[in-house]
Amino acid sequence: MLVLTVGSEARTRKYLPDLPIARDAELVCAERGASNDDLLAAAPDADVIVADAISPVDVRLIEAMPNLKLIHSEGVAFNAIDVEAARARGIAVCNCAGVNAGTVAEQAVMLMLMCLRRALEGDRAVREGRQIALKERMMVEGFRELGDCTVGFVGFGAIGQATARYLRPWGCKMLYNKRHPLDESLENELGVHFASLDDLLATCDIVSLHVPVTDETRGMVDGAFLAKMRSDSVLINTARGDIVDQEALVAALEEGSIAAAGLDTLTPEPVTLGNPLVNLSTEAAARVVFSPHVGGVAEGMFYRAHRTIWENIARLAAGEELVNRVC
């Protein structure tokens, strides 16, 4: 079994599980950014491609690899893989669904707290000798405790549900919107209630995004979406930057039509200095918290993900049914 990995070789080798298939397979590693020509030169007869979540696996590469049987995302996202091209050739595409739910949920809660407590502004004030001035202003202006907030989840899969489990002990009221409502028993367990998207946006103090990137969701957080949110509400995105119309979010932040945003991901990646969200006015920038798309990359996630990948490769070698198959 010849396995081509596209991403960080150091990461691939660090998290390689102690499984017979991982010891016996021939492993070829290519760094992120390698061209199709480089990949084809390195492993033209690969049986499996394992690609990190932002490394493209396009139709040209898929059609040029005669032995390819499986393309596996290293993470949960698979929008960089040309799934239709793979399907046309009968090549399986799998992801690591659910392995990052807990760590992304932690990131979402952290961003909520940082936005509510104006953490970055506070850090700067202390470093610049303005601690008391900012403290006095925050006491007059006020800020909300997380437990007093109504949190709305747009999309409510594994990560959204993990976030709700973390938030429930805080006492948050929680609403969610997804295509098909959950069973009442699971709603009761999580402490959530289904709401239409319009009602959720109009009601919630915090709106947290948890949808995958599809033709339907790409750019869904547009001017109309943001206009339905409350002017004192906070937007949290730990999903994908493609979901947000960034120019529309810039306008909402500059106009004050939403209060703040906590963003773990922008588009495109790598993020450039020309991205409109990193070029906000000083006033608007103070109400935005960025993190470098690290919500899902804790150590434990990688150990779980790479074990999932290699167990799937073992299933492929044995002719068994694959798990987490998306096509």
| Residues with catalytic roles | 240, 269, 293
| Cβ atoms of residues 92 and 86 within 8 Å | yes
Exposure of 278 in the CB half-sphere (CA atoms within 13 A): 14
Beta pairing, strands 70-73 & 48-51: parallel
Q: Over the chain, what HEC string results?
A: CEEEEECCHHHHHHCCCCCHHHHHCEEEEECCCCCHHHHHHHCCCCCEEEECCCCCECHHHHHCCCCCCEEEECCCCCCCECHHHHHHCCCEEECCCCCCHHHHHHHHHHHHHHHHCCHHHHHHHHHCCCHHHHHHHHHHHCCCCHHHCEEEEECCCHHHHHHHHHHHHHCCEEEEECCCCCCHHHHHHHCEEECCHHHHHHHCCEEEECCCCCCCCCCCECHHHHHCCCCCCEEEECCCHHHECHHHHHHHHHHCCCCEEEECCCCCCCCCCCCHHHCCCHHHHCCEEECCCCCCCCHHHHHHHHHHHHHHHHHHHHCCCCCCECC
Task: Measure the CA–CA gap between 70 and 311, rounded to whole angstroms.
Answer: 13
Please state, as a whole number, how many other Cβ atoms lie within 10 Å of the Cβ of residue 313. 24
